[in-house]
Amino acid sequence: MKLNQEINRRRTFGIISHPDAGKTTLTEKLLLFGGAIQEAGAVKNNKIKKGATSDFMEIERQRGISVATSVLGFEYKNIKINILDTPGHKDFAEDTFRTLTAVDSVIVVIDVAKGVEEQTEKLVEVCRMRKIPMIVFINKLDREGKDAFELLDEIEQKLNLHVTPLSFPIGMGYDFKGIYNTWEKNVNLFTGDPRKDIEETIEISDLKNPDLDQLIGESAAETLREELELTDGVYPEFNREDYVKGDLQPVFFGSALNNFGVRELLDCFVEIAPSPLPKMSDSREVKPTEDEFTGFVFKIHANMDPKHRDRLAFVKIVSGKFERNKPYLHVRHGKKLKFSSPNAFFAEKKQIVDEMFPGDIVGLHDTGNFKIGDTLTQGEELNYRGIPNFSPEHFRYINNADPMKSKQLNKGISQLMDEGVAQLFTLDLNGRKIIGTVGALQYEVIQYRLEHEYGAKCSYENINVHKACWIEPEDEKNDEFKEFKRVKSKYLARDKQNQMVFLADSVFSLQMTQQKYPSIKFHFTSEY
């Protein structure tokens, strides 16, 4: 049946890394293999360069680019691949977490010299908790870096993964000779010519084959044989089931810049990476093969053109076929919506299409109906879970700086929060609004966008908050909870969903409060 075929040939994934490890370069090479772009440099770099005159102006400029790189779709060997962009900048970590709810697998890029870095640790932890299948790509082998075994150890320990190499480097940096591919059982010699997009590989199915000594020299061949024997002894044999369950992570080595080891990665990826997986909703697990369409919003891009208040909501299709002009239920609003110009994403462009399948991302024009996490169905009342808010790191009061424009300000704040730019908390005591963000950059972005898109002006005022905790009382009516509400009233606020939040002003006061009210649960994410 057509739906099944379409599902089986889809691979939707994200590439995660610490900035500068080579995510953009690898993305670009993958697109080259798919024939989606003709030349290197075609994928705009959407990262925020430090030291740019103004970081937030840079963000504005990048926002245009990131619409184009949000979803990069292409075909390779009759497999439809969708790469979902994940910003590497730590101030946008929440965007990345949300995007990870829409991927079926990830590729983790690690710099051979720098090893496991901070952002990699955080992002991999999220993937590990969600049991997302991961492939590791160790990049920049053309440079001097850490010893392969040392790196594999570091990955296991720092990232808490269970790895098995599917390729192995022959030398490194100046002495880098190539890669032995244990998956395909062949040797790929490094020439350092990035223009080659089809690499020549030499079949060496038996490592004892003397051709190997000819190819890479006797001593390198000897070392390789020893090292591969060692990997056989130390690392488990690759097993696809364990990989798909998130219990085993295959590792590849290469150099994205030189387009080396990338084809091997891609070939293995299309073979082993899972096609769209079932997803839990609040009422049941939904299978991609079900006839009825369901999907959820994981990202919103807004107001690229300030003259049109237009937003693009990115919906991951979980089940069934999405059709243009067919009415779908917006579950949170309880109303049906039709979309006359749904967009599909291809590398560098989007295009209106009539139908799309599970795994695909559809871009829907929206005038303010959607917020992140919303579910669309064919009529069933179900909601997809798993797009939690985390406690922000920064908090400030937001004040209206132009009393004539309070309506615009409120609308602007509300829409920016729906987009997931930041979180809004309203104090119980006096109704004052507090904006919480992951990075300090977002305050400038919000101020700028309120002014340019909504014609409103705001100012900020410092507030001493360390963490926001979502409050779950054992019993709303017990005395302990009543006392907590009375004593801590100054620190209590509501998030946008009207959930109760405790704004702790220090680590110490949070600990004291937790000790004093043992029956109350303090959560660091909005979904518990």
**Known binding residues for GTP:** 17-24, 85-89, 139-142
Cα 371 to Cα 113, 296, 350, 374, 387: the distances in Å are: 41, 10, 21, 6, 11
Q: CA-CA distance, 51 to 10, in Å (whole number)?
A: 39
In 335-414 the beta strands, taken as DSSP E runs, fall at 335-337, 343-346, 349-352, 355-356, 361-366, 375-377, 394-400
Kindly state the smallest distance separating residue 90's Cβ from ligand GDP, in Å. 12
Q: CB-based burial of residue 157 (10 Å sphere; 0-12 exposed, 13-18 middle, 19+ buried)?
A: exposed
Which residues does 51 contact at the CB level (< 8 Å), separation at least 6? none
State the nearest-atom distance from the C-beta of 415 to ligand GDP, in Å: 29
Of residues 376, 332, 383, 381, the one with CA closest to residue 356: 376
Tell me the closest approach of the beta carbon of residue 257 to ligand GDP, in angstroms. 3
Q: Which residues contact 414 (CB under 8 A, 6 or more apart)?
A: 424
Contact (Cβ atoms closer than 8 angstroms) between residue 434 and residue 396: yes
- Nearest by Cα to 81 from 89, 73, 71: 73
Structure tokens, 225:
């044989």
Q: Which is nearer to ligand GDP, 50 or 486 (CB)?
A: 50
* Shortest distance, position 42 Cβ to ligand GDP, whole Å: 13
Residue 250's DSSP bridge partners are 164
One-letter identity of residue 239: N
CA end-to-end span of the chain: 39
CB-based contact 251:138 (threshold 8 Å): yes
CB nearer to ligand GDP: pick between 47 and 279: 47
CB of 483 to ligand GDP, least distance (A): 50
> Two tokens at 260?
């080396």
3-state secondary structure of 133: coil
Q: Which one, 24 or 378, has the nearer CB to ligand GDP?
A: 24
Q: Minimum distance between the CB of residue 18 and ligand GDP, rounded to whole angstroms?
A: 7
Which is closer to ligand GDP, CB of 90 or CB of 143? Answer: 143
Residue 69 or residue 408: which is nearer to ligand GDP going by CB?
69
Task: List helix spans (H) across 235-315.
Answer: 240-244, 262-272
Instruction: Report how far residue 240's alpha carbon sits from residue 69's, in angstroms, rounded to the nearest whole number.
Output: 30
Tokens 């300090």 sit on residue? 440
Positions in the binding site for ligand GDP (CB under 6 A)? 17, 19-25, 45, 47, 88, 139-140, 142-143, 255-258
- Residue with smaller CB distance to ligand GDP, 88 or 359: 88
Please report, in range form, the residues annotated as the binding site.
17-24, 85-89, 139-142
Q: CA 464, CA 30: separation in Å to the nearest integer?
A: 46
Nearer to ligand GDP among residue 71 and residue 398 (C-beta): 71
Nearer Cβ to ligand GDP (151/257)? 257
In the bound complex, what is the minimum distance in angstroms from residue 145's beta carbon to ligand GDP?
10
To the nearest whole angstrom, how small is the minimum distance from the Cβ of residue 518 to ligand GDP?
45
